[in-house]
Amino acid sequence: MVTRRRKLLVGLGNPGSEYRNTRHNVGFMVADAFAGKHGISLSGRKFDALWGKGMVDGTEVLISMPQTYMNLSGASVSRMADFYQITREDILVVHDDMDLPFGRIRVKEKGGHAGHNGLRSIISCLGGSDFTRLRVGIGRPSHSATDHVLGGFNPDERVLIADIVRLAVEAAEAVVLAGPILAMNRFNNSDVSGKALE
C-alpha cells in the first residue's frame, strides 16, 4: 500500500465540561468520532492539545483538539504543523458554522474566517488561509450569536447530531484520503438524510 503525505485533522472547540455538548464544540465531536472510528487514541498532551496519530488506509493522520480555547487555537495548530512539517494544504479544520443551516456540512478548500475566531487565529498563526475546512452547520439564530454557539443543542437537534457527526466523519475521511475536490463533490449537496439540497 502506498503511503501518502501526512495529514493533520483539527477539531475546534473549547475545553471544559461546561462546553462539551455546545454547538461551538461540534468540531471536537467530529474529531473525537473520527479518532474512535479508526482506533486513534487522543491521549497526547503536547502542543496545548489533546492529540493522537494513526494510519487510515495508508495515510498517517494526526488528530488535534486544541485546549487553548477557541480564539487561541492557531498557536497550537501552528506548533504541531511545524513540528511534524505539515503544510497548510495538508491541514483539515473542522468547525461550527452559523452560515450553514443545522444539518448541513460543507467542505471548503480555502477562504477567510467569516467571523469565526478559531479560524481567525489559525489563519494568523499559519500565515495563510489555504487550508481545507469542513464546515458543520449550526444555523444562525434570531437572538444572541454568543448565546447560540455556546448553548447546548435543543431537543430537535439532539435527535440529529449523531447522524451529522457521522456524515462529517465520512467527509473528513474523503478529504484526507482523496482530497477536497472529491469530498466537495460527494458531500456538499447532501444533508443528514442524504437528500439533495437546492
**16-49 tens-digit pLDDT:** 998 889 998 999 999 999 999 999 999 999 999 9
pLDDT at position 165 = 96
pLDDT at position 192 = 78
Q: Is 158 exposed, middle or buried (0-12, 13-18, 19+ CB in 10 A)?
A: exposed
**Domain 4-187 class in CATH:** alpha beta
Share of the chain above pLDDT 90, in %: 73
Spell out the domain ranges in the chain.
4-187
Q: What is the pLDDT of the chain when averaged over all its residues?
A: 91
Residues 6+ apart with CB under 8 A from 94: 9, 10, 11, 12, 26, 27, 30, 31, 133, 134, 136, 168, 172
Higher pLDDT, 8 or 189: 8
3-state DSSP call for residue 198? coil
Higher pLDDT, 185 or 112: 185
pLDDT at position 96 = 93
Residues 6+ apart with CB under 8 A from 151: 22, 23
Q: Is the pLDDT of residue 197 over 60?
A: no
Q: Is the pLDDT of residue 80 over 50?
A: yes
Confidence of residue 1 (pLDDT cuts 50, 70, 90): very low
Q: Is 24 a catalytic residue?
A: yes
pLDDT tens across 110-136, in order? 888 888 899 999 999 999 999 999 999
pLDDT at position 91 = 98
Q: Is the pLDDT of residue 148 over 90?
A: no
pLDDT at position 196 = 42
Question: Can you give the pTM of this predicted structure?
Answer: 0.92
pLDDT at position 174 = 98
List 24, 95, 116, 148, catalytic entry:
24
Higher pLDDT, 113 or 12: 12
Strand partners, 134: 94, 107
